[in-house]
Amino acid sequence: MSDQAWERAALREIIDEALRERRRTRRWQLIMRVLMVVAVLVLAISITQCAMMSGERKKEIGPHTAQVRIDSPIMADSASSAEQVIRGLNAAFEAKEVAAVVLRINSPGGSAVHSQQIYDEIKRLREANEEIPVYAVIEDIGASGAYFVAAAADEIYVSGSSIVGSIGVIAGSFGLQEAIERLGIERRVYTAGEDKAFLDPFAPQRSEHVEHLRLMLDEIHTQFVTAVQEGRGDRLSDDDQIFSGLVWTGSQSIELGLADAIGSVESVARDVVGEEKIVDYTAKRDFFTELTERFGTSVAHSLYHALLRLEYQPR
């Protein structure tokens, strides 16, 4: 290659690289603009919603039925964590002219601790406000910890095809010691305390550890059973399978005494409570948590589509 041809090739490569760099720069500028627009929109929407909610709460509502939703797994950092549900319950009981509180349940359950805390708070609020009854309405599912919570209500309503029950406790793991041996992997675990590696899935089971876990599960199950028995009383049937961990349809749960009747939030408010107006007191997570989640979801969505559009730009 002659010197001139080499110089022309080198110059062409420099120019192409400069063009590619300009395209990359424009791409990231566009992405940053999209992110800024999304951030501003999310902030504006969140502020508007907060202002609207605040304004609505200040209005004179009049006699009404209070609603608190439990519509996600009951656990920490969930919209149905004990902290969030208890906040909603207290707001409902503290509101003026509340005729009754209805728990709108659509949850598979979750943490035994969070479920117990919600159950205890409902019992406390019922005792402190005897004139305000509490009803639970199970929609698609009210199982395990969600049923634990429902058992604290005065009455439980279901749909015929709701999934109800699962009064049990579960713990699961894997036994992988043979798998890692076949792969030639040596397990190295160092502990202070002979039982610190309790039920290590990469080591053979020890009978004393399994027995200890069984005792723990039995104790938690007993607490669950006691709560249901206290809440449902003599409405429960004598069927031993009630506390076996099985689930039933809403219709079956009525026969077993786990629920009282067919009903929805609207029918309970209208026909049982006598106050058709329903006001939602479900606690919203703090402004910055909501903002972060919305922003993260919106950013991911916008970023994906921005990159998708840019991916097919001619080079």
Specify the pLDDT at position 100.
97
In the chain, what is the greatest distance between 2 CA atoms, to the nearest angstrom?
101
Neighbour tally for 293: CB within 10 Å = 13
pLDDT score for 80 = 93
**Same domain assignment for residues 13 and 159:** no
In a domain, 95, yes or no: yes
Query: Same domain, yes or no, for 135 and 71?
Result: yes
Residue 184 in any domain: the answer is: no
Domain assignment present for 109: yes
Instruction: Let me know whether 151 and 230 are in one domain.
Output: yes
Residues 105 and 19 in one domain: no
Contact 80, 107 (CB under 8 A): yes
Are 9 and 155 contained in the same domain? no
Residue 55 lies in a domain: no
Does 91 share its domain with 36?
no
Question: Does 137 share its domain with 28?
Answer: no
**CA 8 distance to own-chain centroid:** 63
Instruction: Give the number of other Cβ atoms within 10 Å of residue 53's Cβ.
Output: 12
What is the structure's pLDDT at 315?
Answer: 40
Q: Given the DSSP bridges, would you call strands 134-143 and 155-158 parallel, antiparallel or unpaired? A: parallel
User: Is residue 21 included in any domain, yes or no?
Assistant: yes
Q: What is the CATH number of the domain that holds 238?
A: 3.90.226.10
**172, 141 in Cβ contact below 8 A?**
no
- Two tokens at 7? 């110089």
Q: From residue 108, how far is each of 21, 164, 180, 237 by CA, in Å? A: 51, 9, 34, 23
- 128, 234: one domain: yes
Q: In terms of domains, do 45 and 75 share one?
A: no
> Do residue 96 and residue 231 come from a single domain?
yes
pTM (two decimals): 0.72
- On whether residue 188 sits in a domain, the answer given is no
Show pLDDT as tens, one digit a residue, over the chain (315 residues): 566 666 677 667 777 777 777 777 777 777 777 777 776 676 666 556 555 555 555 456 889 999 999 999 999 988 999 999 999 999 999 999 999 999 999 999 999 999 999 999 999 999 999 999 999 999 999 999 999 999 999 999 999 999 999 999 888 888 887 887 888 888 788 888 888 888 888 888 888 988 998 999 999 999 999 999 999 999 999 998 999 999 999 999 999 999 999 999 999 999 999 999 999 999 986 555 555 554 554 555 555 454 444 444 444
For residue 148, being part of any structural domain is answered with: yes
pLDDT digits (tens, 9 = 90+) for 151-179: 999 999 999 999 999 999 888 888 887 88
285 lies in a domain?
Answer: no
What is the full DSSP assignment across 188-199? ----SSTTTTTT
Domain that holds residue 15: 3-49+292-311
Task: Say if residue 33 is in the same domain as residue 125.
Answer: no
Q: Are residues 152 and 119 in the same domain?
A: yes
Query: What is the total count of domains within the chain?
Result: 2
